[in-house]
Amino acid sequence: MIYSRIVGTGSYLPEKVLTNFDLEKLMDTSDSWIRERTGIERRHIAADGETTVDLAEHAARRALDAAGLRPEDVDFIAFGTTTPDLVFPNCGVILQSRLGCRGGPAFSVETACSGFMYALSIADKYIRCGEAKRALVIGSETLSRITDWSDRSTAILFADGAGAVVLTPSEQAGILSTHLHADGQYKDMLYCGSGVSKGFGPEYKLAISMVGSEVFKSAVTLLGRAVDETLAANGLDRSAIDWLVPHQANLRIIQAIAKKLSLPMERVILTVKDHGNTSAASVPLALDQAVRDGRIKRGDRLLLEAFGGGFTWGSALIRY
């Protein structure tokens, strides 16, 4: 049996940091309100001209270094993002040209905050069936470009960053299972209301719109089900999980999922305080941080999960 295995992780955050105190100067909000409702204290914002692929390239090179592979070795790129550099070519192709790896498939996946989970699941399948040998899986976003900085209900949440993993085939597990879902009935709960085909302009706002309380409730319910599904698919009890690596949208959502798993918060990788919600980048950013600081070790069982606009959501169980 062939599994795909994570052999390297990497991440990158833009230099500029925007704190809650900075936001207090821009809008009617407060550090204490943001911290109490979301757990966020600061976030990183891309510089003018710094793009989603710029961030991704740093993360990808770091992941490849960690894996001991050369950029030209990559034969498959799955790139989760909702904030692409261009309409086309897709971010995966632009990254491929920067890395100098030619010929293999390179594509982007546009499933909002669960973009990395979708990309990971697709790459895992290609490795398992033998059609990819060295896959780069990316989550990268410049959400600050689609943030309405006059809307205090969303501007406090979203941020920029990138994370990456490299997958190779292995007889040792590996990614044990992935689970993807979507329910388009919720499309109006969290969306960006403009686009190439729909149009731009005042009636089609290029900014994130959200019904925050509904998103919150649905995230807790649907991620809770995803956790159950993931454990059941592997015949495991919740005590089998060593680390939860959750989507970093809101500390209270993460606490609810940890409680469902009966996991103490010390076994949950948290970056939301310092990163805010970096959408598709949030899970690989958190994973990379915990691998590099030594918390996540080879052999640990990890549960990854993410939830985003659509709604879309997904999870993965991994023997690291």
Annotated active-site positions, please? 113, 247, 277
Instruction: Determine contact, residues 285/271, Cβ cutoff 8 Å.
Output: yes
Closest listed residue to residue 139, CA positions, set 26, 59, 73: 59
Report the amino acid identity of residue 318: I
The DSSP bridge partners found for residue 304 are: 245, 316
250 near ligand COA (CB under 6 A): yes
Nearer to ligand COA, 128 or 225 (CB): 225
- Contact pattern for ligand COA over residues 131 through 170, marking x by CB under 6 A: ---------------------xx--xx-------------
Q: Which of 84, 308, 310, 314 binds ligand COA (CB under 6 A)?
A: 308
Which region among 28-36, 40-48, 49-57, 232-240 touches ligand COA (by CB under 6 A)? 28-36
Paired strand residues for 162:
12, 140
**Amino acid letter, residue 153:** S
Select the residue whose beta carbon is closest to ligand COA and give its number: 212
Cβ count within 10 A of residue 73: 16
173, two tokens? 């597990």
CA 179, CA 118: separation in Å to the nearest integer?
Answer: 9
Question: Closest separation between CB of residue 311 and ligand COA, Å?
Answer: 9
What are 47's two structure tokens?
């510089």
Note whether 249 binds ligand COA by CB under 6 A: yes
Polymer length of the chain = 320
- Applying CB under 6 A, does 191 fall inside the site for ligand COA? no
User: Which listed residue (201, 213, 232, 264) binds ligand COA by CB under 6 A?
Assistant: 213
Sheet containing strand 76-80, strands side by side: 3-12, 160-170, 135-142, 76-80, 106-109
Question: What is the smallest separation between the CB atom of 158 and ligand COA, expressed in angstroms?
Answer: 8
Q: Which residues bind ligand COA (CB under 6 A)?
A: 29, 33-34, 37-38, 113, 152-153, 156-157, 210, 212-213, 215-216, 219, 249-250, 277, 307-308
